[in-house]
Amino acid sequence: MLPLSILDLAPVAEGSAPADTFAHMLDLARLGEALGYRRYWLAEHHNMPGIASAATAVLIAHVAAATRTIRVGAGGVMLPNHAPLQVAEQFGTLGTLHPGHIELGLRRAPGTDQAATRALRRYYAAADEFPADVVELLSYFEPVQPGQAVQAVPGPGVELEVWILGSSLFGAQLAARLGLPYAFASHFAPALLEPAVAAYRAGFRPSSRLAQPRVMLAVNAVVADTDADAARLFTTQQQAFANLRSGRPGLVPPPLASAEALRSRYAPQVLAGVDEALACAAVGSVGTVRAWLAEFVARHRPDELILTANIHDPGARLRSFELAMEAAGGM
């Protein structure tokens, strides 16, 4: 079976608070572990009221302490926001506390808006240094060399799987050159999916970390008992994305009654952009999602899929991941 993983956007729903999100996070991670999901990832975002994963490494520790077998990681850390040494220290510590349990995905994007980017202070100066920063970060997990002035403690020898994340050719080419696994953000930026994956596979150079190219693709997966129920649940993600695109990010909204209600609330050009961004979405009953996933996998040949579901009701979100695993059975 094709490995499935979970990307938890740590949603803060209308009517709830981040404390609720952190509790629901453990519910989802434990369910994912019980169902056989391979990875549980959190993504760094800042200044977004509806996403509570700004302190990504702290939340990874929270989840890793409450699980046993599922791999827990960052999908990803926005490296230009941080000094590579600090990230190596954080994840070296996590990897030491939870051996073989921690993963680190790295992106070049800031994961926020311009105001928060300025408050973070590093991004604009560091974005162009992303390839060198990745190499520096990786070096902190290698044996200390004679005369090495700076080391991460803990760092050398820590078992940590490192991924490059991206939505363009840049990340794909970097992952290929460094011989690292590559995860593509097709759940919100699918436009360059095919050329990015092709560039990664064509340019891949084996490394001490990875002998063969490995591609993981992200998919929105909202699964319910009926197609109509799933479509209604998916209006939450559509609204959230429309609000973000309109410069009005907020808490995760409850679903609307129908697609017609969605069309009456947003301008056609906004919804066209939402449809384009969320094109990689498996929405429907188990049968509908099974057929969608089969076609998607046959077309793009990923080695793994990572699923995300921005659903307002925590119970419906758990049920969606349960049904998604059922839909993927046999792939």
Q: What is the pLDDT of residues 72-98, one digit of tens each?
A: 999 999 999 999 999 999 999 999 999
What's the pLDDT tens digit per position in 94-153?
999 999 999 999 999 776 677 877 787 665 666 689 999 999 999 999 999 999 999 999
This prediction has a pTM of 0.96
Q: Is residue 177 part of a domain?
A: no
Verify cis geometry, omega within 30 degrees of 0, for the bond prior to 99: no
How many domains is the chain built from? 1
Residue 329 belongs to some domain of the structure: yes
pLDDT digits (tens, 9 = 90+) for 259-273: 889 999 999 999 999
Domain-located, residue 310: yes
Range of the domain at 298: 219-331
Has residue 109 been placed in a domain?
A: no
Residue 86 lies in a domain: no
CB atoms under 10 Å from CB of 131, counted, come to 15
User: Is residue 161 a part of any domain in this protein?
Assistant: no
